[in-house]
């Protein structure tokens, strides 16, 4: 899982290049039945992970859910993104992690969207 996070993170970082014209920040809150997950992203060029989920016990199809934190840590490190994942509540592991991944996809889409009329990168420093 960590290697997959590294590979996806590197691909995101490479695809974004200099990050000119992107929004930089992304946010999504996704319900999945009884679960609610929130993901906030800053494509700042600095990696950090906040991972607040229910205790990492159990498996989804023989995959220990404890490995998902390793996945997201590697992804945030190699994509150079500040990533906050919070599960506000949930009972079913499948619903919890489906909500997390859907929220991540939407937040990343939001952060990488092009802002019309924006020139350069969204930073007072002139680079990310």
For residue 12, being part of any structural domain is answered with yes
Render each residue's pLDDT in the chain as its tens digit; 128 residues: 999 999 999 999 999 999 999 999 999 999 999 999 999 999 999 999 999 998 878 999 999 999 999 999 999 999 999 999 999 999 999 999 999 999 999 999 999 999 876 666 666 666 65
How far is Cα 54 from Cα 82, in angstroms, rounded to an integer? 21
For residue 124, being part of any structural domain is answered with no
The domain that holds 29 is classified in CATH as 3.30.230.40
pTM, whole model, 2 decimals? 0.90
For residue 21, being part of any structural domain is answered with yes
How far is Cα 23 from Cα 112, in angstroms, rounded to an integer? 6
Domain with 101, as residue range(s), is: 2-112
Give which of 93, 99, 29 is closest to 66, Cα–Cα. 93
Domain count, the chain: 1
């Amino acid at each position: 899982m960590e290697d997959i996070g590294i590979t996806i993170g590197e691909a995101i970082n490479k695809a974004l290049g200099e990050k000119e014209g992107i929004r930089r920040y992304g946010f999504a809150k996704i319900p999945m039945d009884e679960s609610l997950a929130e993901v906030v992203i800053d494509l700042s060029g600095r990696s950090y992970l906040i991972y607040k989920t229910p205790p990492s016990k159990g498996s989804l199809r023989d995959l220990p859910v404890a490995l998902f934190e390793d996945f997201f840590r590697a992804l945030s490190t190699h994509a150079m993104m500040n990533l906050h994942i919070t599960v506000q509540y949930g009972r079913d592991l499948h619903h919890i992690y489906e909500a997390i991944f859907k929220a991540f996809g939407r937040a990343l889409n939001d952060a990488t969207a092009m802002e019309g009329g924006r020139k350069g990168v969204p930073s007072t420093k002139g680079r990310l």
